[in-house]
Each structure stands twice: as structure tokens, then as C-alpha cells.
Amino acid sequence: MSLENPRTHYTSQIDPEKIGDEKVTVCGWVHEVRDLGGICFLVVRDREGRAQVTLVKKKIDKELFDTARKLVRESIVAVTGTAKPEGKAPNGYEIIPDEVVLLNEAESPLPMDTTGKVDAELDTRLDSRFIDLRRERTTAIFKIRHEVLRSVRNFLSDEGFIETSSPKVVATATEGGTSLFPITYFDREAFLNQSPQLFKQILMSGGLDRVFEIGPIFRAEEHDTRRHLNEATSIDIEASFVDHFEVMEILENMIAYVYGQVIENESASLKNLGIELEVPKTPFMKIPYSEAIDIVNAKGEEMIEWGGDLGTVAEHTIGEYVFKETGESHYFITDWPTEIKPFYAMPYENDPLISKSFDMMHRTMELSSGAQRIHLHDMLKERIESQGLNPDGFDFYLRAFKYGMPPHSGWGVGCERLVMTMLGVENIRDTVLFPRDRKRLSP
Ligand code: AMO
């Protein structure tokens, strides 16, 4: 089935010099109607921009003029006509219409302004996300998010990674038992998965060698902050026969590639957001954990003993230090104490108190964690037990380590944090269409 007035162009694709008198049809939303009596300007908006439709009363059919004049904002229209150069109009042209078809009238008043002239609170925007998406700023963020995910897929595929999907309904915790959402699975208790961690390791060992997944992770953390979601999107990799240094290199190269692709392919969206993006320089600075705490302690704002975790203040201190030293925002903290990393992180052979693990940081927050993993069955079982977990619950996972498990490494990056830090967005909720947080379950 096709509509009676099929779209011929997005508003950004019309160049009157090239198309001459050829008829064009743009389809979209009524952004604005300016009725000046003898002349009426109708601005139609689509995903790619805006087109000005100019109706001069004396020169066109009365019914057509009246239809345009009475259009309610955000109604859906298809406009067919001829494009003429017009320096003052958006995209440098105006459409002289033969036909304006009202496809669906919007109610009035609107739940919120779409022109960007009136600033709405985040909560109001999220309640009416369908309409918030029509603001240029919001559209720009989600086009960039698309470009981030597209280029991640591109990069990892080119690096020989195979895209996989793992179950989200699971029986076991992976990242510690406190932050799981329990669900009822027929007559059993199950959980929403916190991370594809265990599955990506099994998949990789199953002969796929290098795997990646982009999918939801669920964290039942109570905190209500600007950088935590209860449902986030994680970009995960797992690779055989490589150590933590090699996957760190893949990660920094991926970040640089993604920035480059966004600059190349989403320049209009960046301009809309008023952002001049630069590709981060690789390799990123690597600071071992013990040096990182020295940097924090030297500042004297807080004292961290060896073995303690790094909080937000500490992360900021180290981020500022790196920025001063290198002029860059991205860096790694490596060689974390084994005890504060998950059970699957591989300890150094010559110093088992330290693990072959890392976090990749942006000046403002953690973007990723990863490690070389334990690939030896007995050592892994012992680490599970020493973290107070019951190995029986991990039977499906541990079995895979008995029958040919290569040495391997991997990492997970939060997609929203990647977009957020790239664009300097204040609140992570702005980078998810329908965020799930402590208070928000709908829409
Ligand atoms: P981790 O728990 O550090 O590691 O998560 C990896 C990355 O996912 C993002 N992230 C979140 N983003 C928003 N809201 C949240 N609540 C949230 N939780 C995590 C962050 C974080 O750096 N299995 C390991 C990864 C690995 O070793 O491969 C893991 O899940 O950007």
C-alpha cells in the first residue's frame, strides 16, 4: 500500500537549483503558521529539518490558502509544490504549494512547546517524550546515539567480533547479589540480568572466539543520581587469547573511532547542540590503582587506604590530574586490588592481591570496566566461594571452564555514559528515550 502523497524528499534534500520545476512532496509536522493576511508562511518540520511553504493569497486557490492558514501546530501534513530559492528561509528555499493535505489534526494546546523557545523541565519532557523528540536538541542527541551504536557495530565487526545476544531472564547474579530485580518465572524465582558477563565468556569459549553484544542491563540500585539508570544499555566484548592490555587497546581505538564517525556523519546534530567535538588522542593514559590513590591522598581532600574503592570525589581528582597532564579526558585506572573486583578478574601470578583489571574513565565518570578473566576452573570456583557466593548457582558457567577454556579478556561500556560524556549532557536520562529509574516506570 502506498499513501496518496508519498514523500519525495526530506526537507534537507531539496536543492531548487538542481531540481528545477520538478514537483516535490514533503511530509511532516506543522511547526509554525504565520498568517500575515495577504501572505501565509507555513513551516513544515521533518526529522532532517524544516521547509518554508509560502502562500500568497492573491496568487493561489482560496481553499488552499484557508487550509494552510487554519492548520493547528504539530498536525501532520503532506505538501506538494515547486521549490524556489529563498535566502531567508531555512535550507535556502521555499515551496510554492499546489496542494496541502491535512493527514491528521493535532489537538490544542500541546502538552509542551516544541520550538525550543520555552524550556521545559526534564520530567515534563520525559512524560511527553513523543513530543519532546520533536525538539531539535532531543532529535540531535538520539541521532548521535544511533551513530555511536552504528559505528561501534562497524568497528567491532571489522575487528573480527561476532554479534551475539544473551538471555535477560537468568537464574544467577553476576556483579554481586545486592542489585538484582527478582521476577516470577512460572513457578520459580528468576532475575533480570545485570550483565551478559557469564554468557559472553561461555559464548566466546564455544568457538566464536571474539564476541560482542549491545543489550540491556538491569541494576536494582536504589540511588537516584544523574548518572545511574536502573535499565541501561551495555556494549560488551569478550575475546580469546588476549590479555587485558590488548582489550584496553581495542577499547581506546573504538572510542576514538566512534568520536571520529560522529564528527564525520553527524556534524549537523553537533552544530544543533553547539558542540565542537575532538577525537580523543590514543593511547589513553594508564594509571595503576596504587598511584591513583596516591594522587587522591596527595590532594588531601580525602584519604583512601589501599584496598578501598574510589568514590565520585576521588574520580574527579584523578580526572583533573589527567586533564592537566595530558589535556585529555579519557584514561584508564589499572591493576585494581583483587578483592574489590568481581570474582572473574584474573589476579597477577606474581602478586595475587592485584588483578589484571581496569576501569576506563572520562574526566567526569567511569565509562567501562574490564579485565583479563580467570580461565582456570579451580581458581574460578575458589574465587566465587571466597566472595561468599555459592558455586552451585554457577554450575552452568563453571562447566564451560572444564572442557577447553582459552585465556581471555573483555570489557563492558555503558552506551548512555558514552553519549553523555561525549555531548556533555548533564543528566543520563537525556540519552535514553524512556529511562527507567527509581521513580519512573512509565512511559
Ligand atoms: P560494570 O558493572 O562496571 O561492569 O558496568 C560496565 C559499565 O556499564 C555502565 N553501567 C551503568 N550505566 C548507567 N547506569 C547504571 N546503573 C550502570 N551500571 C553500569 C557503566 C559501567 O562502566 N561485567 C562487567 C564488564 C566486564 O568486565 O566486561 C560489568 O558489568 O558505564
- Is residue 323 assigned to a domain? yes
Does ligand 1 come within 6 angstroms of the Cβ of 332? no
Residue 122 maps to a domain: no
Q: Say if residue 54 is in the same domain as residue 190.
A: no
86 is catalytic: no
Note whether 221 and 155 are same-domain residues: yes
Query: Do 55 and 138 lie in a common domain?
Result: no
* C-beta separation of 437 from 219 below 8 A: no
CATH number at residue 226: 3.30.930.10
Task: Choose among 230, 31, 44: nearest CA to 113.
Answer: 31
**Same-domain check for residues 69 and 138:** no
Rounded to the nearest whole angstrom, what is the distance from the C-alpha of residue 369 to the centroid of ligand 1? 7
For residue 443, tell me if it sits in a domain: no
Residues 184 and 59 in one domain: no
Same domain flag for 193 and 243: yes
Do 142 and 68 fall into the same domain?
A: no
32 is in an annotated binding site: no
| Rounded CA separation 186/173 (Å) | 19
Note whether 272 and 200 are same-domain residues.
yes
Ligand 1 pocket test, pick from 180, 417, 430, 437 with the greatest ligand atom count within 8 Å of Cβ, gives 417
CA–CA dist 123, 138 (Å, integer)? 14
∠ at Cα 339 (335, 344), nearest 5°?
80
**pLDDT tens series, the chain, 443 aa:** 467 879 999 999 999 999 999 999 999 999 999 999 999 999 999 999 999 999 999 999 999 999 999 999 999 999 999 999 999 998 899 999 999 999 999 999 999 888 777 778 999 999 999 999 999 999 999 999 999 999 999 999 999 999 999 999 998 877 765 689 999 999 999 999 999 999 999 998 888 999 999 999 999 988 889 999 999 999 999 999 999 999 999 999 999 999 999 999 999 999 999 999 999 999 999 999 999 999 999 999 999 999 999 999 999 999 999 999 999 999 999 999 999 999 999 999 999 999 999 999 999 899 999 999 999 999 999 999 999 888 998 999 999 999 999 999 999 999 999 999 999 999 999 999 999 999 999 99
Residues 45 and 146 in one domain: no
Query: Is residue 219 flagged as an active site residue?
Result: yes
CA angle 184, 188, 192 (to 5 degrees): 50
Residue type, 258: V
Is 353 found in the same domain as 259? yes
Q: Is 229 annotated for ligand binding?
A: yes
Residues contacting 153, CB < 8 A, separation 6+: 163, 214
Q: Which residue has the cell 533480570?
A: 192
How many CA atoms lie less than 13 Å away from 93 in the CB half-sphere? 24
Residue 319 lies in a domain: yes
Q: Is the CB of 425 under 6 A from ligand 1?
A: no
Total domain count, the chain: 2
CB 192, CB 172: distance < 8 Å: no
Q: Does ligand 1 come within 6 angstroms of the Cβ of 232?
A: yes
Catalogue the E-assigned strands of 298-363.
331-334, 347-348, 351-355, 357-362
* Angstrom distance (rounded) from CA 48 to CA 14: 11
**Amino acid (1-letter code) at residue 239:** A
- Specify if 244 maps to a domain: yes
Q: For residue 408, is it within any domain?
A: yes
Is residue 233 domain-resident?
A: yes
Q: Based on the domain organization, do 319 and 246 belong to the same domain?
A: yes
Residue where a domain terminates, one of 59, 89, 104: 104
Does 402 lie in the same domain as 260? yes
Counting runs of H as helices and runs of E as strands, what totals does the chain give?
13, 18
Is 212 in contact with 161 (CB distance < 8 Å)?
Answer: yes
**Domain that includes residue 379, residue range:** 132-431
Residue to mutate, 200, 217, 231, 357, ligand 1, most ligand atoms under 8 Å from C-beta? 217
Helix axes 415-423, 136-158, angle to 10 degrees: 120
Concerning whether 227 is annotated as a catalytic residue, the answer is: yes
Is 6 contained in some domain? no
**393 Ramachandran zone, left/alpha/beta (phi>0; psi -120 to 50):** alpha
Expressed in angstroms, the distance from the first to the final Cα of the chain is 31
CATH number at residue 48: 2.40.50.140
CB-based contact 15:35 (threshold 8 Å): no
